[in-house]
């Protein structure tokens, strides 16, 4: 380390004052962020800025498109590994000018970042060393915010568990608790559960928290963890909440895979409601989706929402009634007996035909048979099962019983 004087020695009343000091020393605009890219301080009176910095200051957080670009470009992965300043070339598509950034560390964990916007100049090696000193000097101030944030998160998670388990059931009381903790409410919400292949480690929890804090697809009002589950309260913003939540889920899973190499994430979300005492109901429904996914696998791979389950919503109820009453479907029994005797696939043929909305060509393609062969099979199904293929009620009953038999067989 060169023998020059540390320009950041001394006390600073606030991080804003500290950001101004760094800006004065380096003669560049400065922003300071927490580990989840929320703005916590920035230098004032800067003559020059760029669109990315302006958007960050206005919204108090780095835009998600900027974060995504910095991940792809490699800047954020480098900052999460190194204590050295990282030079970030311009990314014009997202309005990002040339920058130098350095991480603020607490032991082996990154708790924040200092970003310096190079204004028609390049920081010298000496100034890069000063930036490292700035990161060390900022640690205690950022750590104070970090500790306060963690204490608040503990109280918030305790409240969320009370809501998930209906320990607070009165709507007015729930909203009062949310207001007291400065948690915003929303016109609609759903409980979303991500289930990982194994129990979450501390490192995985940090990575998941980072993604949830930085996403701007949907507002995340609350979140917590339980074993291998991440449970969150999402607030879709549009009049197509099922589509919005499904897109968020697919994006989250893709980012976990791309950025952190975490695979095998299952997900389900419960009903979308506007009354907060129904949080527990939405949670139970999300868990029901995951239970069905575990049993049915690829059959409902692309289904995430309880409302999208269709007939599968009723399978546990139907199975219980079937076992109590011993009901049977003679049409299905006849087809099963015929298949066993002749080593044929009439049950599968009917199921596939219905899976594909009775589209002959699509079904023939999936079964790898000629459409004429499919037509012959359907005629045999009608004859053997004494089934009227023009009667939707009969067809739906047979279809449900085929699916229910598969569900029962998988335990």
The pLDDT tens digits for 66-86 are: 999 999 999 999 999 999 999
The per-residue DSSP string of 223-269 comes to EEEETTEEEEEE---SS-HHHHHHHHHHHHHHHHHHHH-----EEEE
Which residue matches tokens 């998670």? Answer: 157
3-state secondary structure of 31: strand
The span from the CA of 222 to the CA of 396, in Å, is: 40
Q: What is the pLDDT of residues 335-385, one digit of tens each?
A: 999 999 999 999 999 999 999 999 999 999 999 999 999 999 999 999 999
Q: What is the pLDDT of residue 376?
A: 95
Sign of the C-alpha dihedral, residues 374, 377, 383, 385?
negative
Beta carbons of 139 and 35 less than 8 angstroms apart: no
The span from the CA of 217 to the CA of 162, in Å, is: 26
Going by pLDDT thresholds of 50, 70 and 90, the confidence category of residue 315 is confident
- Asked if residue 62 has pLDDT above 60, the reply is yes
Share of the chain above pLDDT 70, in %: 99
Beta carbons of 32 and 141 less than 8 angstroms apart: no
- Looking at per-residue pLDDT, the higher value among 14 and 410 belongs to 14
- Looking at per-residue pLDDT, the higher value among 211 and 146 belongs to 211
**Selection from 218, 298, 304, 203 nearest residue 259 by Cα:** 203
Q: What is the pLDDT of residue 4?
A: 55
- In terms of phi and psi (left: phi > 0; alpha: psi -120 to 50; beta: otherwise), the region of 344 is beta
- Asked if residue 320 has pLDDT above 90, the reply is no
Q: What is the pLDDT of residues 104-137, one digit of tens each?
A: 999 999 999 999 999 888 999 999 999 999 999 9
Q: What is the pLDDT of residue 46?
A: 73
Q: What is the pLDDT of residue 30?
A: 95
Element at 378 (helix H, strand E): helix 371-385
Query: The pTM is what?
Result: 0.78
Residue 307 DSSP code: G
- 371: Cβ contacts below 8 Å, ≥ 6 apart: 360, 361, 364
315-325 vs 392-409: helix axis angle to the nearest 10?
Answer: 90
- Asked if residue 411 has pLDDT above 80, the reply is no
Beta carbons of 387 and 394 less than 8 angstroms apart: yes
Mean pLDDT of the chain: 91
Mean pLDDT, residues 23-37: 93
Q: What is the pLDDT of residue 2?
A: 47
- Asked if residue 409 has pLDDT above 90, the reply is no
Q: What's the order of all strands across the beta sheet hosting 30-34? A: 39-42, 30-34, 109-117, 99-106, 86-88
**Selection from 68, 66, 141 nearest residue 111 by Cα:** 141
Q: What is the pLDDT of residue 276?
A: 96
Sign of the C-alpha dihedral, residues 92, 96, 97, 99?
negative
Q: What is the pLDDT of residue 192?
A: 98
- Asked if residue 152 has pLDDT above 50, the reply is yes
- Count other Cβ atoms within 10 Å, centred on residue 174: 19
The span from the CA of 302 to the CA of 250, in Å, is: 10
Burial class (CB in 10 A: 0-12, 13-18, 19+), 62: buried
Q: What is the pLDDT of residues 173-204, one digit of tens each?
A: 999 999 999 999 999 999 999 999 999 988 89
Cα 387 off chain centre by: 45
Mean pLDDT, residues 270-276: 97
Q: What is the pLDDT of residue 391?
A: 93
Q: What is the pLDDT of residue 408?
A: 85
Q: What is the pLDDT of residue 321?
A: 82
The span from the CA of 186 to the CA of 181, in Å, is: 15
Mean pLDDT, residues 387-407: 91
- 269: Cβ contacts below 8 Å, ≥ 6 apart: 190, 191, 192, 193, 234, 245, 249, 282, 285, 286, 289, 304, 305, 306
């Amino acid at each position: 380390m060169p023998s020059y004087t540390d320009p950041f020695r001394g006390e600073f009343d606030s991080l804003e004052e500290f950001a101004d000091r760094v800006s004065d020393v380096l003669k560049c605009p400065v922003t300071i962020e927490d580990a989840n890219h929320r703005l916590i301080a920035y230098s004032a009176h800067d003559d020059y800025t760029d669109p990315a910095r302006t958007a960050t200051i206005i919204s108090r957080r780095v835009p998600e498109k900027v974060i995504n670009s910095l991940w792809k470009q490699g800047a954020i992965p480098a900052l999460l590994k190194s204590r050295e300043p990282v030079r970030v070339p311009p990314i014009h598509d997202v309005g990002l000018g040339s920058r130098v950034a350095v991480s603020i560390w607490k032991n082996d964990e990154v708790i924040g970042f200092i970003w310096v916007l190079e204004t028609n100049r390049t920081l010298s090696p000496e100034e890069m060393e000063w930036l490292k000193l700035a990161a060390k000097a900022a640690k205690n101030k950022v750590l104070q915010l970090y500790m306060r944030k963690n204490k608040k998160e503990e109280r918030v998670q305790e409240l969320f568990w009370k809501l998930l388990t209906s320990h607070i059931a009165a709507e007015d009381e729930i909203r009062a608790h949310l207001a007291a903790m400065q948690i915003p409410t929303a016109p609609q919400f759903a409980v979303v559960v991500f289930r990982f292949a194994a129990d979450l480690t501390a490192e995985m929890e940090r990575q998941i928290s980072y993604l949830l804090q930085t996403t701007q697809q949907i507002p995340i009002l609350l979140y917590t963890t339980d074993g291998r589950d991440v449970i969150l309260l999402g607030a879709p913003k549009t009049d197509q909440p099922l589509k919005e939540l499904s897109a968020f889920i697919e994006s989250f899973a893709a980012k976990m895979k791309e950025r952190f190499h975490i695979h095998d994430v299952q997900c389900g979300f419960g009903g979308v409601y506007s009354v907060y005492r129904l949080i527990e109901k939405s949670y139970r429904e999300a868990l029901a989706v995951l239970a069905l996914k575990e049993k049915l696998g690829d059959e409902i791979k692309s289904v995430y929402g309880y409302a999208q389950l269709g007939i599968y919503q009723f399978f546990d109820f139907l199975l219980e009634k079937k076992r109590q009453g011993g009901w049977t479907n003679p049409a299905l029994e006849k087809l099963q007996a015929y298949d066993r005797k002749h080593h044929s696939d009439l049950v599968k043929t009917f199921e596939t035909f219905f899976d594909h909305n009775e589209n002959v060509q699509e079904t023939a393609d999936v079964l790898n048979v000629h459409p004429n062969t499919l037509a012959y099979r359907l005629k045999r199904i009608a004859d053997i099962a004494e089934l009227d293929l023009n009667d939707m009620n009969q067809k739906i009953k047979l279809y449900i019983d085929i699916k229910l038999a598969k569900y029962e067989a998988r335990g």
